[in-house]
A and B are shown apart, each in its own frame.
Chain A
Amino acid sequence: MSFFDDLFRRKPASAQIAKERLLTVLVHDRVKLTPEDLAELKRELAVLIQRYIPSVNPDDIEVSLLREDTSDRLKADVPLRRALD
């Protein structure tokens, strides 16, 4: 990020931050899944995925709870490495 990006980028208003934090915490509250549970879920998921796709780097996997307009969802994002052939 350049100096000018920093200069002109407005800090997000706190209401927007409040909204995003609330959306996340409410999904956790409702599913009754603690951040530790979610981390454990991610570890187990990584082991399982690697059994089938060994090239996946467990550190790249992202698992998150999201609140969207009509539904709450558990989202797992697993980047795959392109085969170098």
Chain B
Amino acid sequence: MARVITITSGKGGVGKTTTTANLGTALAMHGSRVATIDADIGLRNLDVVMGLENRIVYDLVDVVEGRARLRQALIKDKRLPELYLLPAAQTRDKDAVTAADMINLTNEMRSEFDFILIDCPAGIETGFRNAIAGADEVLIVTTPEVSAVRDADRVVGLVEAAEKGPARLIINRLNQRLVSRGEMLSMDEVVEILAVDPLGVVPEDELIVSTTNRGEAAVFNPSSYAGRAYINIARRLNGENIPIMELTEQTNLMDRLFGGLFGRRART
């Protein structure tokens, strides 16, 4: 029976879709049967991030409205035979689907998969409520910025109110060099402010831009720091006890010399 996990954030542009694609891919690489669902109806993007945009025939709304069977709408990944995408409709809006539809849909899928990852739209309105309706667990993505952390705090409260908590936190795009200089919130500070358990930290990584340009997951690229962080997060999701590890390779010489003495520790 699958675990249904919704990836949300409140604020847009913090990396929900990238996180969904990479965690889904990493879990499938480790042998899990994974479905990703794009719940951002009208603004679909998980298909392009996963490089599957040319294979879409049917979408989530087609399934909900009975024009297609689930099996017809699920798109198989190019590389991993146990990874599937259920794309969002692009020409409809959020009201095309209800919370009950999402619960029925995920329940129908549970027996076929180990993980169902739902990419939530930004915001805290209908789209968000639909995306968490069928969830067993919620992951909140934030970046170490005041706007993203503030919105994450709102979502933490809403997830608790919907009895889907406690949510776990993924801190994305952490720049260790800035943290060491005291110019960016550290993981510990974000965790302290939000009072939510962290599942992992993803370092800022320019390779994400090029892997996303190509429609490939960063987890396939062994030189991607973000990719390695996502693999660790996937393993923690899978129940492995992997400490949130220190990431020193990325820092420059000065940070390495002085960061250990005066700076905060970097982890992924």
Contacts and interface: CB of A to CB of B under 8 A. Distances in A.
Interface of A: 13-16, 18-19, 21-23, 25-26, 29-30
B179 interface: yes
Interface in B2-25: none
Interface string B174-194: 000011011111100100010
Contact of B184 (A15, A23, A30): A15
Contact of A16 (B145, B150, B178, B182): B182
A14 B154 CA distance: 23
Interface string B196-220: 0000000000000000000000000
Nearest to A19: B189
Given A22-B193, A26-B193, A29-B153, A15 B179 contact: yes
How extensive is the interface on chain B, given as a class?
10 to 19
Given A13-B181, A15-B179, 18 more contacts: A13-B182, A14-B182, A15-B178, A15-B186, A15-B189, A18-B146, A19-B185, A21-B146, A22-B149, A22-B150, A25-B150, A26-B150, A26-B193, A29-B150, A29-B153, A29-B154, A30-B153, A30-B157
A35 B154 CA distance: 18
Contacts, number: 37
30 contacts: A13-B181, A13-B183, A14-B183, A15-B178, A15-B179, A15-B182, A15-B183, A15-B184, A15-B185, A15-B186, A15-B189, A18-B145, A18-B146, A18-B185, A19-B185, A19-B189, A21-B146, A22-B146, A22-B149, A22-B150, A23-B193, A25-B146, A25-B150, A26-B150, A26-B153, A26-B193, A29-B153, A29-B154, A30-B153, A30-B157
Contacts of A29: 150, 153-154
A14 B146 CA distance: 11
A11 to B, nearest CB: 10
Nearest to A10: B182
Task: Tell me the dominant secondary structure on chain A's binding face.
Answer: helix
A19 B149 CA distance: 10
A26 B147 CA distance: 11
Nearest to B181: A13
Contacts of B145: 18
Contacts of B184: 14-15
A75 to B, nearest CB: 19
Nearest to B264: A15
A41 B198 CA distance: 37
A18 B144 CA distance: 9
A26 B186 CA distance: 18
Contacts of A19: 185, 189, 193
Interface string B109-146: 00000000000000000000000000000000000011
A21 B179 CA distance: 17
A80 B183 CA distance: 40
A32 to B, nearest CB: 11
Contacts of A30: 153, 157
Nearest to A67: B193
A78 to B, nearest CB: 29
A21 B150 CA distance: 10
Please list the 3 inter-chain residue pairs (A to B) with the smallest Cβ-Cβ separation, ordered nearest first: A13-B182, A14-B183, A26-B153
